[in-house]
Amino acid sequence: MSKQQLETRFKQILDQGDKLFVPYIMAGDGGLDVLNERIDFLADCGASAIELGLPFSDPVADGETIQQAGIRALKSGTTVQRVFDTLKQSKDRNIPIILMTYMNPVYHYGIDAFAKACVASGVSGLIVPDLPMEEEQAVTDVLHQYDLALIRLVALTSPVARQKELKKRTEGFLYAVTVTGTTGERQTFTDRVHQYLADLKVGATTPVLAGFGVSSEEQVKNLARHCDGVVVGSRIVKAFHDGEKDVIKALIEASKQ
């Protein structure tokens, strides 16, 4: 799916009055043979898009749950190439896939070859948390040729000028990180979080999604009220690992009207 198709799909969901829900899963956790099945399950539950993590040995932004999932995936023999090959087997799915990867695997694969493989596997965009805005052009020049989105992260600690620039550049959606720290479930958020999300919404040309720490139905509803939806990672990864599919269904349901 192209960047435009991803953005159109998001708009349609929001126009219906629902909020966006983007679950994160780790490619190869549970073995690559379950990957397409898990994507289909999430699509059937009503996910708006899937954030698919590539396992990597130095995942600096990942908390314990996702680190462990990455270790399991690497141990079971997951590689970047195998993830692309697995995605290709079910390329005509009607849910956008956003790959979450660190810069090293992209650079190692070759930026152009990586982008080509994304298109051939039905991927719509990338999240690259260790690619700062100042360094992104070498990547975005290529992604734009292939109609792929670079989804950018903004932090609670980003100064106003930086937030503004990120809003200007945003593609697909703006990923508003709701904690200062790594991924992982949280009980509470800082009081500032609602205002932060509301400020990001002003003038942003794509939806704004809140992510990091979101793990209960109540948190989904509460945060989504102040922006366009949420990303949920660790809780979904844990639920797949523990076989709790009802938890996943209920979390996604909480984002609907």
Ligand X SMILES: O=P(O)(O)OC[C@@H](O)[C@@H](O)c1c[nH]c2ccccc12
User: Contact residues for ligand X (CB under 6 A)?
Assistant: 24, 51, 53, 61-62, 66, 100, 127, 129, 183-184, 211-214, 231-234
Q: Are 132 and 87 in contact (CB under 8 A)?
A: no
Closest to ligand X by CB, 87 or 239: 239
254 HSE (CA, 13 A, CB side): 24
CB 92, min distance to ligand X, A: 25
The DSSP line for 124-181 is: EEEE-TT--GGGTHHHHHHHHHTT-EEEEEE-TTS-HHHHHHHHHH--S-EEEE-SSS
CB 115, min distance to ligand X, A: 20
Indicate the SS3 state at residue 110. coil
CB 118, min distance to ligand X, A: 18
Closest to ligand X by CB, 91 or 221: 221
Closest to ligand X by CB, 7 or 51: 51
Quote the CA–CA distance of 199 and 167 in Å, as a whole number: 10
CB 177, min distance to ligand X, A: 7
CB 237, min distance to ligand X, A: 7
Q: Which of 7, 62, 171, 185 is catalytic?
A: 62
Closest to ligand X by CB, 29 or 62: 62
Active site residue 62: yes
Residue in the block written with tokens 């997951």 = 78
- The strand pairing partners of 230, in sequence order, are 21, 210
Closest to ligand X by CB, 1 or 209: 209
Q: What angle do CA 234, 236, 242 make, to 5 degrees?
A: 100
Closest to ligand X by CB, 13 or 26: 26
Indicate the SS3 state at residue 89. coil
Can you state the angle between helices 111-120 and 80-88, rounded to 10 degrees? 30
Q: Which of 7, 51, 185, 228 is catalytic?
A: 51
Active site residue 51: yes
The DSSP line for 20-77 is: EEEEEEETTTT-GGGHHHHHHHHHHHT-S-EEEEPP-S--TT--HHHHHHHHHHHHTT
CB 128, min distance to ligand X, A: 9
Residue nearest to ligand X (CB): 233
> Does an H or E element contain 99, and which?
strand 97-100
Q: Which residues are catalytic?
A: 51, 62
